[in-house]
Amino acid sequence: MKRILEHLDKVFHLIYRLSVILAEVTLVAMVLIIGTNVFMRYVLNSGLKWGEEISLVLVIWFSFIAMAIGVRKNLHISIHLFRRSVPMLDLILDKLKALVAVFVGGVIFVYGNVILQFMSRSILPATQLPSSVMYAILPLSSGLIIYEGITDLIGYDTTKSDHDEEEEADHA
């Protein structure tokens, strides 16, 4: 079982690293597109027809990728009022948090696929891309959220490979 988890963790770690790179690229692209569009509108009196549309797609993609990254790195808002004083409560709340992550990931996956099917029937006006492009990231982000929730439930630390990479980067 442990070997399977280690191999699965390697696959999901690669997917996670690629999603971080994708988030970085979408953020840079948003800044460049919006900056260029603002410059063109106010200086050249003309804008990019597709600029707002693509920026909207990138914002949606970035948001859902960031949600999955937040679940992995435990970055979401939490309140630590009684946790330190009652260790058993700490364990229960951690398991509850993992269950909620699996549930939310499942809802995003199921309804994300419904949205994808529904949106594939229409096109974005400026780019002529299928509207489903906006939400094509939902299966990936929900899959990462579900995986992280399940590994948190069984007590498997998926962030140890992240720490190893950070230590290697610090020594370089």
CB 156 within 8 A of CB 149: no
d(C-alpha 159, C-alpha 49), whole Å: 42
pLDDT band at 94 (very low <50, low <70, confident <90, very high): confident
Judge whether residue 164 has pLDDT over 80. Answer: no
Instruction: Please provide the distance, in angstroms rounded to a whole number, between the alpha carbons at the two ends of the chain.
Output: 34
Segment 132-149, tens digit of pLDDT: 999 999 999 999 999 999
Q: Over pLDDT 90: what percentage of the chain? A: 59
Q: What is the DSSP letter of 129?
A: -
CA distances from 160 to 10, 94, 149 (A): 11, 18, 16
The percentage of the chain sitting over the pLDDT mark of 70, rounded to a whole number, equals: 88
Residue 83's pLDDT band (cuts 50, 70, 90): low
Task: State the chain's mean pLDDT as an integer.
Answer: 87
Cα distance between residue 74 and residue 62, in whole Å: 17
- Taking residues 57-67, report their average pLDDT: 95
- Of the listed ranges 86-95, 97-106, 126-135, 139-148, the least confidently predicted one is 86-95
